[in-house]
Every structure is written in structure tokens, then in C-alpha cells.
A = this chain, B = another copy of it.
Amino acid sequence: MPSGIPKEKQRQRAPSKRSLETRARIMDAAEQVFAAHGFDGASLRDIASEAGVQVALVNHHGGTKEELFWRVVARRADELSAARLKALAARKARGPLTLRSLLECFFGPYLEKAEVGGTHWFAYARLVAIVSADPRWRALTAHCFDPTANRFVSEICALYPQAPRQTISAGFVYSVSAMLALLTSRWRIGALGQGSSEISEHLDELVIYCAAGIDAAARR
């Protein structure tokens, strides 16, 4: 019921470099294991051994299993939101916004990170998909993603003053789920299509798909 990330109590000494490293190692391991097996399927012992560390140390650095999950999700969420808002601001300065450019500002940073940062951001995509689909993480979603999402929804609403916000937010949620499907379910796209499916090949298509969908829905 309480949930959230408890603020760590006042320190009297700076954390050692080694401590910070193992903490990061634990977070990375947790991210990977949570992404692979979900919250319930992941065990703290799996995470510990993945990080090359004792079980108790995971609790020490991450707190409760649930707190650890929060931390892992929140960690990259901040970086991601910042990148998205930055892209949005830069684009806004370059002239009037279009729906497609808005979606590119939202999708772009993620997919760039996924292609550059490799494994980590891919695992994180699975994590976000898990969080987005489960009402159990409603509060976590509200805390990490809703502020930025709301911002983009509002921008889109400004482009379609006559459309009800509910319609826009629905279209936005569909679009996010489509993006997550691209990141997490390429195997399924491949199974129904033919040939390999690389992310970069599908990105433009995705933006076209989502933009056309939202536009059509917004025009009633």
C-alpha cells in the first residue's frame, strides 16, 4: 500500500567508489532479470548471482523487492523524459509542430538509445511494457511516465482543438503500445510476415502508422 522509493536517511560519509559500482551492477542485473522474468518471476537470488553478489546485499542497496523494482524503472525514466522534452523543445524552436514531428520527438530518443545503448535499453523496453500493462503498477506509471505523456497529449490536443482529449489520449496510448510492441514483439511481426525485421527498418513505418491513426481518430 505505501510503496514508492523511501528517501535514504542522512549519511555521515560519502559512499565508496566500490560501493557505487556494486550498486550500479545490482541495478543493471535487476533490470535484466526483471525484464526477462517479470516482477514475480524474478528472484532476488537470480539478481544477486547475475550481479556477482550476495543476496542480502541486494536488499541493502535496493531495499524491498518492490522498492528495487521502483528504483530500476525510475532510474532510466528520468533520463528518458529529459531526452524527450529536450527533443520537443528543440523542435518547437524550429517552427510550428506537426503530429509526425511530435511522435518523432517521443519515439526517437527511445529508439536511438535502444540502438546505441544496446541491451540495457532493450531490456528496459520490456520492463516498461510490463509496467504499462499491469494496473498493479498504476502508481509507478503515474509517477514516472504520466507527466511527460500528459505533456505530449496536450501538444497533440493543441493541434486538434475540436477533438475531445479522451480521443487523443486513447490514440496516444495505442501508439505507445504499438511502439512497445515493436520493441518487444518483433518475433511476432516476423512470424506473421517474412524475412528479418530490424527495428530501424520499421521506425518510419511506425511513425506513419501512429500519426495517420491519431489524425483519423481526431477528425472524428
Contacts and interface: CB of A to CB of B under 8 A. Distances in A.
A-side interface mostly: helix
B211 A192 contact: no
Most B-side CB within 10 Å, residue of A135, A153, A178, A194: A178
A138 B185 CA distance: 10
Given A170-B189, A170-B193, A189-B173, A209 B214 contact: yes
Interface string A195-220: 10100001001101111111111000
A156 to B, nearest CB: 11
Number of copies: 2
A126 B195 CA distance: 29
B166 A206 contact: no
Q: Specify which of A130, A138, A142, A189 lies most central, judged by the most chain B CB atoms within 10 Å of its CB.
A: A189
A193 B166 contact: yes
Contacts of A165: 193-194
A169 interface: yes
A134 B187 CA distance: 10
Interface of A: 37-41, 129-130, 132-135, 138, 141-142, 146, 149-150, 153, 164-174, 176-178, 180-182, 184-185, 187-189, 191-195, 197, 202, 205-206, 208-217
14 contacts: A39-B41, A141-B191, A142-B191, A169-B192, A169-B193, A170-B209, A174-B178, A174-B209, A174-B210, A209-B214, A209-B216, A212-B216, A213-B213, A213-B216
